[in-house]
């Protein structure tokens, strides 16, 4: 008896989230992008040294998520640090 692979939910489909989505789908998992503005489907493109990949991803708004789920991936950007100096000459 074969077990089905779990469905993943992804918060944050920027560069790292898209790469994670590609690895998960390549391994046979299904996944949905969680977004407040769902669009059917979201098309992302990855460019590797030897290939270009188009990745269609389904989207789900938060209110349509199941009441419980076990596989969530959160990908976020690190905020930019405050500048160490400014070009404003006034003290």
Instruction: Give the CA count within 13 Å in the CB-facing half-sphere of 76.
Output: 5
* Predicted structure pTM score: 0.73
pLDDT of residue 2: 56
* Distance in angstroms (rounded) separating the CA atoms of residues 64 and 60: 6
pLDDT of residue 90: 59
pLDDT of residue 57: 87
- Over the stretch 27-70, which tens digit does the pLDDT of each residue have? 999 999 888 877 777 888 888 899 898 888 888 888 888 898 89
The CA-based angle 80-83-84, given to 5 degrees, is 135
- 3-class SS at 46? strand
Residues 67 and 2 sit within 8 Å (Cβ to Cβ): no
């Amino acid at each position: 008896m074969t077990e089905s692979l779990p469905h993943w939910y992804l918060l944050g489909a920027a560069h790292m989230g898209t790469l994670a989505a590609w690895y998960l789908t390549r391994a046979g998992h299904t996944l949905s992008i969680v977004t407040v503005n769902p669009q059917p489907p979201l098309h992302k493109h990855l460019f590797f040294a030897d290939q270009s990949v188009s990745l269609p991803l389904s989207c789900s708004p938060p209110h349509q998520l199941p009441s419980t789920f076990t596989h969530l991936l959160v990908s976020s950007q690190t905020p930019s640090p405050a500048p160490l100096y400014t070009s404003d000459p006034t003290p």
